[in-house]
Amino acid sequence: MKKKALHKAHSLIPRNSLAWLLTAQIVVLLPHLPRLPFWVSVLWLGCALWRVQIQRMRWGYPGPLLKTLGIAAITAGVWFTERTLIGLDAAVMLLLLLFMFKLLEMRNPRDAIVVIYLGFFIIATAFLFDQSILLTLYQLFSLLVLVAALVGLQQTAGRNDPSRALRTGSVLLLQAVPLMVVLFLFFPRIGPLWSVDTPGGSATTGLAESMSPGDIADLARSGELAFRVSFEGPIPAHETLYWRALTLASFDGRSWSHLDFASRAEPRDWQPRGEPVRYQVTTRATQQPWVFSLRGATSDDERLVLTRDFLLRARRPLSETTSYSATSYLQSLLEPEDLTAMQQRLYTLLPEEVDPRSRAFAAQLRAEYADDAELIQALLRHFNQEPFFYTLRPGPLGGNTNDEFLFDTRRGFCAHFAGAMAFVLRAAGIPARIIAGYQGGEINPAGNYVLVHQFDAHAWVEAWLPGQGWISVDPTYQVAPERIERGIQQALEGEGSFLEDSPLAAARYRNISWINTARLRWDDINFQWQLRVLGFQADRQSGFFQRWLGTTDWQRIGAILVICAALVMIPLALWILRPGRLPRDPRRRAWTRLDRRLQRLGLQAMRGEGPRAWQARLDQALPGSRRQIEAFFDEYVQQTYANAGDRLDRADSLRLRALERELRRSLPRKRPRGPIRALDSGDLPGESSRL
């Protein structure tokens, strides 16, 4: 009796439906697995195996005690993995584990539908961590599989057809596309789901608030994209593209670090000079507040603020892909008036008893050059004329980093040159600070915008001069001018260290034409995706409404939304529910097409009339088409009745279709003369015995 009850319980979910559910579950879980520990994958395999054994009546369903222990185990697993049960990562992981465990609870179609509905939520959670176009395309496929699983759940064991379930799911999704577009354009834009701050989220910009000599050199080994910039008008020259991110003003003897006070206060004074350069920056989520801009930047974006050190800074950390517009004046005077006493002390402060040779060198320069501007030029000439080398393989430095670099190794990256120059200037009494950001970029001709990668990370020096304010000086240009004028790949061409740790980075193969063309075109697709889809937030939506509807009033927009939805859905519904719609079955389609053609001749099939009765009536009325009539009806009867319940393959469908076309071509254009009587069973030909 117990075995019989178990069989009855599990038979409520057909085997084909279980196969659909397992397929849908692994498709939905796959994007999450790379972020999860290995034991999660093993757990899913265990749940799937157990479910299959239940289906085969070899194992039973887990009891209440086992369920309780399972919940406790996965809760403990999440705790030991994430060190918390509160937060986005932990919540998503717990949801995924419960999604897996739900397999073991399914006893009827209702439970299976709950699993499928949970799958739709799992699809949405993947966008909390990635919003790329590739993931979006994959999630569309996941959505199709889930809908097909829902269709497959309604199929009986005898009518199981996976391809038909996929076709039905595809049609359902395609029918939803017009409504989806209307909702995307008109539905009020709230903060996207993925804009939730992830706990413990780390910066992905590559820059940090402190810099040691080798930090940017390590960053330059990465081929990841940092941000994209599109300009209004021509793109400025490569050597003028210094993308400022943050200032490093505090030196502890080895590392330069950022000071918060400079990013909080408003700038004291600055004078815009030169032609304005207008541009739009699109950057990914960095979980940091700094953004990227050229010298002398301003912005009307309410999300940004101009700080005391003349940088644009976001009011909140960037937790989503962000686009903002800015205008820069590259010849601006930044704080040309006298510095305050606190600023003078801050920007000339150095730790005691470090780098004595650098201090002596600064004293020597000061003795030779009383004018600050002349001293700066002399220091730049020193970098240009002495045997310094630009390299990503500088070698380790000891305690006195600036001394060893300036007088011993003389091999370094931009951080070495900028750090050493800032130290010497401060030791000579000239206020100086380091600007960390990016320099240059790669023009993408496909979209006429600039790509800035992590390997474009750069550091340079700003020194303060009376009447001129903060001026930018780049000692790296004196050593490796090709780095500033053409990019890092050309500067390291002889050394061969460009992206040597990233053999699969597409940017490494920019010298191969077809690879570079494909890479730039794909990047343009991603840029348009970020700009026009991910970037379609409240401000862009308001602009869209104002441009196309002439209003931003939500009452009017709501009325327009209802009208647009009706204009989209009503024709679609009428098309789907149209009376003359052909059936899906190829046999019924052939019958319906022939019936419609013969209706013009008054020879359509009568209500309740079978194929052989109709055939006999047509033979009497259309003697000239008797051969085609017999061939079509013989094939139709064979496929419909002799092979009843069998799946119709493509060859049978094509053969019946060809016979139907041949019959229709043989029919006369006008109705035959004379009355045509309906036949009774005694008039049917001998072949009717097969019915």
Most confident among 68-72, 173-177, 273-277 (mean pLDDT): 273-277
State whether 242 and 275 are in the same domain.
yes
- pLDDT (average), residues 331-355: 89
Name which of 240, 235, 227 is nearest 477 in CA terms: 240
pLDDT for 687 equals 40
Task: State the catalytic residue, choosing from 215, 355, 372, 474.
Answer: 474
- Asked if the model's pLDDT at residue 268 lies above 70, the reply is no
pLDDT for 192 equals 53
Bridge-based pairing state of the strands 411-412 and 389-390? parallel
pLDDT for 202 equals 37
pLDDT in tens, 647-663: 566 777 788 888 888 88
Q: Specify the amino acid at residue 42.
A: V
**pTM for this structure?**
0.70
Query: Structural domain of residue 305, as residue ranges?
Result: 210-350+428-513
State whether 331 and 261 are in the same domain.
yes
- In the numeric block, which tokens belong to residue 505? 């980075």
Instruction: Flag whether 474 is in a domain.
Output: yes
pLDDT for 218 equals 65
State whether 219 and 154 are in the same domain.
no
State whether 182 and 226 are in the same domain.
no
- In the numeric block, which tokens belong to residue 114? 């709950």
State whether 41 and 100 are in the same domain.
yes
Bridge-based pairing state of the strands 449-453 and 442-444? antiparallel
- pLDDT (average), residues 155-167: 68
Instruction: Flag whether 94 is in a domain.
Output: yes
Instruction: Flag whether 620 is in a domain.
Output: yes
Alpha helix (H) ranges present in 486-579?
488-491, 513-529, 538-548, 554-576
Domain final residue, candidates 495, 513, 531: 513
- In the numeric block, which tokens belong to residue 36? 């999860």
* Confidence at 634, pLDDT banded by 50, 70, 90: confident
Residues with Cβ within 8 Å of residue 592, at least 6 apart in sequence: 582, 583
State whether 91 and 232 are in the same domain.
no
10 has catalytic annotation: no
- Asked if the model's pLDDT at residue 6 lies above 60, the reply is no
Instruction: Flag whether 502 is in a domain.
Output: yes
Distance CA 588, CA 85 (A): 58
> How many domains is the chain partitioned into structurally?
3
Burial class of residue 82, CB neighbours in 10 A (0-12, 13-18, 19+): buried
- pLDDT (average), residues 308-331: 88
Give the strands of the sheet with 333-334, arranged side by side: 242-248, 432-439, 457-465, 469-473, 333-334, 270-271
State whether 504 and 612 are in the same domain.
no
* Confidence at 262, pLDDT banded by 50, 70, 90: low
Burial class of residue 70, CB neighbours in 10 A (0-12, 13-18, 19+): middle
Tell me the torsion sign for CA atoms 72, 74, 77, 82: negative
Task: State the catalytic residue, choosing from 215, 403, 458, 523.
Answer: 458
Torsion region of 280: left, alpha or beta (phi above 0 gives left; psi -120 to 50 gives alpha): beta
46-50, 164-168, 427-431: segment of lowest average pLDDT: 164-168
Tell me the torsion sign for CA atoms 479, 483, 489, 493: negative
Instruction: Flag whether 581 is in a domain.
Output: no
5-14, 89-98, 415-424, 535-544: segment of lowest average pLDDT: 5-14
Name which of 325, 334, 324, 326 is nearest 272 in CA terms: 334
Q: What is the DSSP letter of 433?
A: E
Q: What is the DSSP letter of 501?
A: T
- Asked if the model's pLDDT at residue 644 lies above 80, the reply is no
Domain final residue, candidates 498, 513, 528: 513
Residues 348/366, Cβ–Cβ less than 8 Å: no
State whether 179 and 86 are in the same domain.
yes
pLDDT in tens, 16-42: 778 888 888 889 999 988 888 888 888
Instruction: Flag whether 320 is in a domain.
Output: yes
pLDDT in tens, 570-617: 887 777 666 655 566 778 888 888 888 888 888 888 887 888 888 888
Task: State the catalytic residue, choosing from 414, 416, 453, 524.
Answer: 414
State whether 294 and 170 are in the same domain.
no
112-116, 117-121, 491-495: segment of lowest average pLDDT: 491-495
State whether 15 and 157 are in the same domain.
yes
- Asked if the model's pLDDT at residue 378 lies above 60, the reply is yes
Distance CA 501, CA 218 (A): 10
State whether 268 and 149 are in the same domain.
no
Residue 625 three-state SS = helix
105-119, 299-313, 642-656, 670-684: segment of lowest average pLDDT: 670-684
Distance CA 383, CA 404 (A): 15
Instruction: Flag whether 406 is in a domain.
Output: no
**DSSP string covering 226-293, please?**
EEEEEESSSPPPGGG-EEEEEEE-EE-SS-EE--THHHHSPP--EE--S-EEEEEEEE---SSSB--B
pLDDT for 199 equals 41
47 has catalytic annotation: no
Residues in the chain: 691
Distance CA 283, CA 227 (A): 4
- pLDDT (average), residues 430-454: 91
61-70, 85-94, 149-158, 232-241: segment of lowest average pLDDT: 149-158
Residue with tokens 């084909």: 16
* Confidence at 430, pLDDT banded by 50, 70, 90: very high
pLDDT for 583 equals 60
- Asked if the model's pLDDT at residue 86 lies above 70, the reply is yes
Domain final residue, candidates 513, 543, 573: 513
State whether 338 and 270 are in the same domain.
yes
Instruction: Flag whether 372 is in a domain.
Output: no
Residue 452 three-state SS = strand
CA atoms within 13 A on the CB side of 250: 9
Please provide the average confidence, as pLDDT, over all residues in the chain: 81
- Asked if the model's pLDDT at residue 375 lies above 70, the reply is yes
* Confidence at 156, pLDDT banded by 50, 70, 90: low
